[in-house]
Structure 1
């Protein structure tokens, strides 16, 4: 008997996998079938529950969960789907609904095309159909995964979503072009971040300028229900989203595919692939940021900054380390002193009661460090500009004729070894072929190949060694070139800023004060090249130590 005061739940589902596999049951088509069946069989109070774009192996679907809430509340008399696979493609969970959840709540279940009706006694084949639906989901998942893997290997995007700041080229959906609306936002976020602006200030700027979040923008453009939640706070950008943008190599004009994989066809959870499992395609589209800006952003991300009590990021934040123990230097300000004095001390020493560190303070005043770093940066800038070739020769250690000859010899030896390896591969193929055709006995085959095998192992080891040696030199030259490009951006440096300090300097090591000579050494390691020897007198700053009533000399080394 039909219960007129309860709902007849008409459930529809269509996944991306179904569409890719050629399913013809669109949501509208399913609705038409279900409503017609309900009308013809006199089911009352019909209500649709829909999941568009959700896989059947996952039961975390909004429409399904809403329907199950109605079921558990006792407000549903009958659930009708086009077929069993619409309810789900997970054998265990689908069986649990049909055999436990629905009967316990007095719900009749009908799958029209499969002839399933729990009000009848002839449903012995229902578990078999559920098992087949799960097998179909597994098989479809494998096929789709193979297709996506092939697309990834060709550099084609497989998830249908594009990096914020880009849109697909109308003539080739796999090619990216800058989005006129969002590309300027990406550039602004990078510019603010590398200039030292705090993340909360960037978020404030985005909100004040009513810049839609990625999810809100996608909902505005597509209307897809899965992005609707983003409209609750359309201008509130999470930290993680902004850090993800700042770390994406796509903004350099490169394409990276196969970055993640699903843990199982039954789960929506994804895991990041290792670098060697990804595919990298350089210079595939127009970049939004240059190499220097991107590198600066990565450098700042690697040393997340802790704002001071004055809500400011210190100019040396993330760069200062104790030369004694390697711990980060702690930024501090004097108390009850006007004007305020700012200084640094070893973080491990400062927390020695908790950490048990035996390191010393390595104390240095900020104004001393500012003066020293400014003078040393100006010294290095002038030297590189006036003596670029000398700088390159010293920095590469390949400036003399003998070193250049050694590099050329390594490259020549590598080419020769690779050619011999190719010859050996050809010989192996011929020997295998002769052995397989009976032209070469097994004993003779083993004798010949064993000698070649030893040679191949020796060659492979030497090739690897040579490639590493050459790559080291090549990478070093590239790093020097990048530092020269940084120098080329400046004619002179009159004052230190967060941007120029972090662009020029990789790290600064603070040595402890030598009490006998009243000198303190400061190691300044410049970006990409390390310490720079200009064959000049080292940069020095002298300040008066009021506590010990002596003049202290700080020297950059």
Structure 2
């Protein structure tokens, strides 16, 4: 291809950050400037490549990539931009284009306002200009991040995304309203999950009822989507990850959580999840779709989810059994054949002892024996609570009060320690500021000495607020007892264990070591919201009760 037949590429770019920072050059104005320059300096065969609304930090821009494909095909003679920052604000990548890519393909580069022209030999300051452009991008990113963090601290939604099941209030975009179309879908997903349905069964229900996936619904409502649209035959196929994301969102309890993620760098679009202590929590900001009991049951199951067994059922005690000595999970071992009486549980640490080198004992217990024990104890507890409701509430509240007081003592110590440290930091900052104001400390020294304390102050502020909230609400533990009583009222009688009633009523079961002298094993059943339940019943032939402080501990012969 002759040089005169090659393209003169006129590249224009404008980002949201540029507009927010006061950039006056619109895409249309850039085009006028570039075309006028090309005409006046006799550059022919011009073609525009445009990126409107794209950051200069990222080089994955459609217009830029289209231009580079033409460069690599040898079809471009000259690239012209208004200034260097239009080409990019990443020092390394912009320098690579100007100093490596363009020369390799014999492309002349011109940045009009910066006086850069690679056909001349006076471009020594071009790398320095690129560095300043990157510094500008970094500074702009820092300011935008500060604004977003300030909004997050006030409970305002930063990214504009609304959780599935809600819509933004037309009168206040930071307030959520239940979505008439999808709110019931969220409720159905939770209901099926907490009753023990497998994820594939929930997905089948969504497919059968032709419930559009989250991304497809967003596309139909807004015309945009984050990822490529699925094939038309897959618009009702919900991924596992989407369903687990829904099941773990506290927004469905009526709360607002902001600051859940952060960008790893202003040069990267990759985000990471913030730890809970760095997130901002605002309770009861909108109407809840899910009650706390249902949400807690879902979290309990998610925390211990595992693959279904060979018979494609989830074990009834999945996630509830723990070794009474080491605290490790107990795992189901299926015996030969399909008879459930041969199934048993063993300590996970013992099972993995060869691989991990950690030592514990088997804590072996047959599933049939455990089912019999748990059913008998559930019947005991339900009967006792129904017939002695007021006595149970008073006893449980008294036990909770003792446990709460113990925890409060420790929490108050932590709060006092955090407040004292915050006072020390405030005093230190005040002293350093005075030294800086009086000229005893330079600005650079002040910034260096104080920078290390910023994260600690943020952490302490969050910790103080969290501890204060815990202490203020600790006296309301009686509501937990009432929640358990409400659960008991749901069941008139339990004659058979199901995944739903076991996981709704029981928090965890501890399997202790076998006592070889008496040939008995101690089992502790901790119930939801209240822990151990003391009923005062007399021992039976197969189950005896060992009195402990506010506790009921069962023992039976293996």
Q: TM-score, normalised by structure 1?
A: 0.76
User: SS at the partner of 1:168?
Assistant: strand
| Segment of structure 1 superposing worse, 521-530 or 203-212 | 203-212
In structure 2, the residue corresponding to 1:228 is in which secondary structure? coil
In 1, the alpha carbon distance for the partners of 2:339 and 2:92 equals 72
Cα deviation code 1:33-86 (max 9, x no counterpart): 667766785543736353x54322233445434543443343433334443222
- Secondary structure of 2:496's match? coil
TM-superposed deviation, 1:525: 1.0
Question: Are the aligned partners of 2:57 and 2:89 in contact in 1 as well (CA < 8 Å)?
Answer: yes
| Contact 1:376/1:539 (<8 A) preserved | no
For 1:536, the equivalent position in structure 2 comes to 537
Alignment deviations for residues 179-215 of structure 1 (CA, whole Å, 9 cap, x no partner):
2333233222222222222233334444454444433
**Aligned 1:151-166 pairs, distance under 5 A:** 151-166=151-166
Query: 1:98: how far off?
Result: 1.5
Aligned to 1:91: 91
CA contact (8 A) 2:155 2:256 kept: yes
Tell me the secondary structure at the aligned position of residue 140 of structure 1. helix
Match of 2:363 in 1: 362
Counterpart-to-counterpart distance in 1, 2:225 and 2:66: 15
Q: Report what 2:221 is aligned to.
A: 221
**Structure 1 residue aligned with 2:372:** 371
Partners of 1:339 and 1:486 lie apart in 2 by 29
Residue 59, structure 1, aligned to residue 59, structure 2: yes
Given the alignment of the two structures, is residue 202 of structure 1 paired with residue 202 of structure 2, yes or no? yes
The offset of 1:109, in angstroms, is 2.5
Task: Note if 1:329 corresponds to 2:330.
Answer: yes
* Equivalent residue number for residue 503 of structure 1: 504
Name the CA distance, whole Å, in 2 between partners of 1:527 and 1:284: 26
Change (3 A) 1:122 1:468: closer
| SS of the residue 2:241 aligns to | helix
Contact 1:372 1:554 (C-alpha < 8 Å) held by counterparts: no
Distance in 2, matches of 1:469 and 1:113, equals 59
Alpha-carbon separation, structure 1, partners of 2:476 and 2:386? 22
What do residues 469-527 of structure 1 show as CA deviations (whole Å, max 9, x unaligned)? Answer: 96695264343233233223333334322122111111112235556555443211111
| In 2: Cα distance, 1:358 partner to 1:96 partner | 57
Matched, 1:78 2:84: no
Partner of 1:118: 118
Deviates more, 1:377-386 or 1:55-64: 55-64
Contact 2:341 2:368 in 1 (8 A): no
Please say if residues 194 and 293 of structure 1, whose CA atoms lie closer than 8 Å, have aligned partners that are also in contact.
yes
Conserved 8 A contact 1:17-1:55: yes
In structure 2, the CA distance between the partners of 1:19 and 1:173, relative to structure 1 (3 Å rule), is farther
Matched with 1:266 is: 267
| Deviation of the 1:279 alpha carbon | 2.0
Taking the TM superposition and a 5 Å limit, the aligned residue runs for 1:474-553 are 474=475, 476-514=477-515, 517=518, 519-537=520-538
Determine if contact 1:331/1:344 at 8 Å carries over to the other structure: yes
Query: Which residues of structure 1 form unaligned runs of 5+?
Result: 437-462, 543-552
SS in structure 2 at match of 1:160? coil
CA separation of 1:523 and 1:35: change in aligned 2, threshold 3 A? farther
Distance in 2, Cα, partners of 1:538 & 1:77: 95
Partner of 1:179: 179
State the 1:386 CA deviation.
2.5
Q: Distance in 1 between matches of 2:137 and 2:511?
A: 61
The SS at the match of 2:228 is: helix
Deviation at 1:315, TM superposition (A): 1.0
| TM-superposed deviation, 1:308 | 0.8
2:237 is the alignment partner of 1:244:
no
Q: Which residue of 2 aligns with 1:386?
A: 387
Q: Does 1:147 align with 2:183?
A: no
Whether the 8 Å CA contact 2:50–2:63 is kept in 1: the answer is yes
The answer to whether the 8 A contact 1:157-1:174 is kept is yes
Distance across 2 between alignment mates of 1:226 and 1:107: 35
Distance 1:345 1:132 in 2: 63
Q: What SS is found at the alignment partner of 2:310? A: coil
Q: 1:360 to 1:28 in 2, by over 3 A?
A: same
Whether the 8 Å contact between 1:216 and 1:228 is mirrored in structure 2 is no
- Whether the 8 Å contact between 1:319 and 1:507 is mirrored in structure 2 is yes
Whether the 8 Å CA contact 2:334–2:342 is kept in 1: the answer is: yes
Matches within 5 A, 1:275-286: 275-286=276-287
Distance 1:338 1:74 in 2: 73
CA distance in 2, matches of 1:221, 1:288: 22
- Residue aligned with 2:78, SS: strand
Pair 1:134 & 2:134 matched: yes
CA contact (8 A) 1:8 1:44 kept: yes
Query: Bigger CA drift: 297-306 or 1-10?
Result: 1-10
Question: Aligned residue for 1:310?
Answer: 311
Q: Which moved more, 1:143-152 or 1:470-479?
A: 470-479
Query: How many Å separate the matches in 2 of 1:531 and 1:367?
Result: 22
Task: List per-residue Cα deviations over 1:202-245 (Å, max 9, x = no partner).
Answer: 34444454444433333333334753356696444443333222
Q: Which residue of 2 aligns with 1:344?
A: 345
Structure 1 position 350, deviation (Å)? 4.4
SS in 2 for 1:397: helix
Give deviations 1:345-389, integer Å, cap 9, x for gaps.
334444555556764443333233223222221221222233223
Give 1:22 shift: 4.2
What are the ranges of 5 or more consecutive residues in structure 2 without an aligned counterpart? 435-463, 544-553
Q: For each residue in 1:138-157, what CA deviation from the matched residue of structure 2 results, as whole angstroms up to 9, or x when unmatched?
A: 22223222222221222111
Contact preservation (8 Å) 2:340, 2:368: no
Distance 1:223 1:88, change over 3 A: farther
C-alpha distance in 2, partners of 1:272/1:70?
A: 39
